[in-house]
């Protein structure tokens, strides 16, 4: 009986893992959100799009731990889905908990490649803990739009 219960616990525990993983967004979901954001900017303009990105009630751009951020090519925050206090500030030299200048890296990727990924540490808006994060950024005109996944 004890062996059966242990086996059952393992099976039910394994079944619960996908539910836990589903609480965090996937890299594909981050890319899809950025592409949806780029399309909105192109169809509706920056002002409408940035307002939509900042609105926590807009589920197209706020999903679990997934949200958007927008920076110009000088590192000025134009929109931020998790922290509106960042908007209007030049954050080019901001560093994560390990001293990595992640906004500089995002701008560099946007300028040189047009899109790509940057790894850094950032507070998760769901757990409130600083966690490893990979941010996907894509250049649009003279700014970048990004979103990231917590690992």
The structural domains of the chain, with segments of one domain joined by +, span 24-150
Which one of 3.30.450.20, 3.40.50.2300, 3.40.980.10, 1.10.357.10 gives the CATH number of domain 24-150?
3.30.450.20
Per-residue pLDDT of 131-141, as tens digits, reads 999 999 999 99
Q: Are 65 and 71 in contact (CB under 8 A)?
A: no
The size of the chain, in residues, is: 151
Residue 62 tokens read as 């706020």
Measured distance CA(119)–CA(106) in Å, rounded: 10
- The reported pLDDT for the residue numbered 22 is 56
- Which residues sit opposite 71 in a β-bridge? 77, 144
Per-residue pLDDT of 102-146, as tens digits, reads 999 999 999 999 999 999 998 887 888 999 999 999 999 999 999
DSSP state of 90: B
* Closest listed residue to residue 151, CA positions, set 67, 25, 31: 25
Q: Find tokens 């086996």 and name the residue.
A: 7
Q: Has this prediction a pTM greater than 0.85?
A: no
* Strands (E) located in 3-110: 62-63, 66-72, 77-80
């Amino acid at each position: 009986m004890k062996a059966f219960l242990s086996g059952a616990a393992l099976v039910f525990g394994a079944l619960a893992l996908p539910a836990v993983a589903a609480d965090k967004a996937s890299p594909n979901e981050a890319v899809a959100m950025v592409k949806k954001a780029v399309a909105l900017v192109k169809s509706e303009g920056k002002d409408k799009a940035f307002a939509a990105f900042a609105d926590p009630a807009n589920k197209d751009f706020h999903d679990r731990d997934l949200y958007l951020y927008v920076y110009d090519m000088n590192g000025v925050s134009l929109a931020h889905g998790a922290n509106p206090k960042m908007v209007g500030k030049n954050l080019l030299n901001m560093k994560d908990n390990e001293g990595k200048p992640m906004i500089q890296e995002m701008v560099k990727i946007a300028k040189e490649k047009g899109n790509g990924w940057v790894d850094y540490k950032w507070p998760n808006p769901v757990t409130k803990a600083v966690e490893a994060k990979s941010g996907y950024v894509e250049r649009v005109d003279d700014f970048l739009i990004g979103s990231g996944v917590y690992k």
